[in-house]
Amino acid sequence: MATTENTDLQDTAPQGRIRRENRERILKAAELVFAEAGRAGATMADIAERAGLPKANLHYYFGTKEDLYRAVLDNILRLWLAPIDSLRPDADPAAALTAYVAAKMEASRSRPAASKVFANEILHGAAQVQEFLAKDLRRLVDAKAAVIDGWIAAGRMAPLDARQFLFMIWAVTQHYADFNVQVAALLGRKKLTRSDFDRITREVVRMVLRAAGLPEPPPHP
C-alpha cells in the first residue's frame, strides 16, 4: 500500500515507523524498570539498557524522565479501564461479574508490571493522576455503582455497598499482580504459572460471587 501522510514521492515512511517502534521499545522497557525499582529508583541508564538504546535517545524521544513516566502511566490507565465495560445494566450479574473478574485476573497475569507502576503511583500520593481519579475514574465508578444498585433493586443480587464491592474486586485481582512475589512465596512456588492463575481465578470468582449473594458460577455463554 502507498503511504499517505508524507510530502512528496517518498516510497515508505521510515522515520515515522522507526519513531513509533523506538517509542514502543522505550515505553515497554520503562514499564518494567519503573515496576521493579519504583519511580525514583528507576534510572534512565537502566531503561536505556533494557531497551537496547543509548541513554541520549530516551531524552530525544521523551524529553525528561518525568515525561517518560507520564507516558508510561497514560498507557496503563487505558489498559486499566477497559474490562469494566462488562458491567452493563442488561447483563446477567453473575456472568458479568465472572467476566470482569476473569479479565482483571488475566491482566494481572499478563501485565503485572503495568499494575505495579499504577499501584506505586497511588501508593505515593497519586500526584500525576489525581485529576484522573477525581474526575474520569470517579464518574466511571459512579456509573458502574449505579448499574450494581440497579441489579440489587431488581433483586438480582444481594444488597451491598456497590463502591466497596468494586474496590474489593480491584483489591483482590490486583493483589495477584502487585504482590505476586509474596503470593508465590507463600504458595511455595518460584513463579505463578498460567495454570496457577486459572485455578486461583476460579476461586476468586467463586468468592466474589458469594460475596454478592450469587452462589453458583453461571454456565458460560
Give the binding site for DNA (CB under 7 A). Answer: 15-16, 18-19, 22, 42-45, 53-57, 59-61, 63-66
φ, ψ of residue 117 in degrees (nearest 5): -60, -45
User: Which of DNA, a copy of itself, none does 179 bind, CB closer than 5 to 8 A by kind?
Assistant: a copy of itself
Strand (E) or helix (H) holding 202: helix 194-211
User: Which of a copy of itself, DNA, none does 182 bind, CB closer than 5 to 8 A by kind?
Assistant: a copy of itself
Site string for a copy of itself, 138-177 (x = CB under 8 A): x--x----------------x-xx-xxx-xx-xxx-xxx-
Per residue, the 3-state secondary structure of 27-69, as one string, reads HHHHHHHHHHHHHHHCCHHHHHHHHCCCHHHHHHHHCCHHHHH
Out of 47, 68, 71, 204, the only residue in the binding site for a copy of itself (CB under 8 A) is: 204
CA atoms within 13 A on the CB side of 69: 21
CB of 133 to DNA, least distance (A): 25
CB of 148 to a copy of itself, least distance (A): 13
Q: Binding to a copy of itself (CB under 8 A): which residues in 82-141?
A: 116, 119-120, 122-126, 130, 133-134, 137-138, 141
* CA quadruple 204, 83, 135, 179: dihedral sign: positive
Please work out, in degrees rounded to the nearest 5, the angle formed at the alpha carbon of residue 184 by the alpha carbons of 27 and 210. 100
User: Which of DNA, a copy of itself, none does 88 bind, CB closer than 5 to 8 A by kind?
Assistant: none
